[in-house]
Every structure is written in structure tokens, then in C-alpha cells.
Structure 1
């Protein structure tokens, strides 16, 4: 059996707050998953903006790029789970 030590940059707090993994469901629609749980969605509108929602379909705003939308969702997700 091998016991792996945490990476030097990884703390127990980091491990307790999973990051969101995104899957493309169809063109213009991404679904987020964090530790096996639904984390939210990003949908590209016809105008090209990216509309973000959390795991309860609460709007988190819009962004001009998918990368910005993912980063914004991750910040909100991290803040929402900070007290857990």
C-alpha cells in the first residue's frame, strides 16, 4: 500500500473545497459537477453572452467568455462552500 502525502501547495482546506468540472451537454450548454454533485450551468445566449447559474438555478450573472464564466462560477461556488 502506498500512502501519498498532500502536495506542498495543497492544504486540507483546498481538498475540502472541490473545483467544478464542466461537461458540454450540447452546443452552448455546460453543466458543472463538483465531487459528484450538480454545481450549476453555463449557457451561451444568442447574443453570445454566457449566462451562469448555481446548483439551485440562481442566476450568478453573465460574462463575455466561457473562461470568465467558469472563473466567476468557481469564485461563487468557493464562497458558498467556505462555511461547510
Structure 2
């Protein structure tokens, strides 16, 4: 499969108290071509064709359900890539 879950350790340090905290997170590594992801995001108006984000001002007129529906479409496109 082109999809891998890798543990990622993020180290945080509190400067005043001088102690370290290691947070283990799961990092999702995928081999989806970046042009496909940018194309999907641009199609749904999250960014332009170069991958630059579109200003948040354009999102103020969108309802929560519109924004979520856009995310769902992108997730479906990515899942179709792997199936």
C-alpha cells in the first residue's frame, strides 16, 4: 500500500522549568502525487492551482455544511486513489 502510519516524536521543552516532554504522534505518510492533491484542493476553492491558500474572507459566506462537504469530496478523491 502507498499509505503508511509512522510514529513521530515531538519534543517540547519548558524553558522556565527546564524539563522535556516527548509526545508521540502518528504521522500519515502517503505517496499521492502532490499535483493530484493540489488539483482537488483548487477545484474545491481551498487554494489556487499553485497550492497557495485562498483567503479566509471567501469562507465567511460559506456555511459549515458547505465547508464540510468540500472536505468530504476531497477525502473521497483521495480514497478513490487508493482503491
State if a TM-score over 0.5 links the two structures. Answer: no
Higher gyration radius (CA): 2
More strand per residue: 1
TM-score, normalised on structure 1? 0.32
TM-score, normalised on structure 2? 0.32
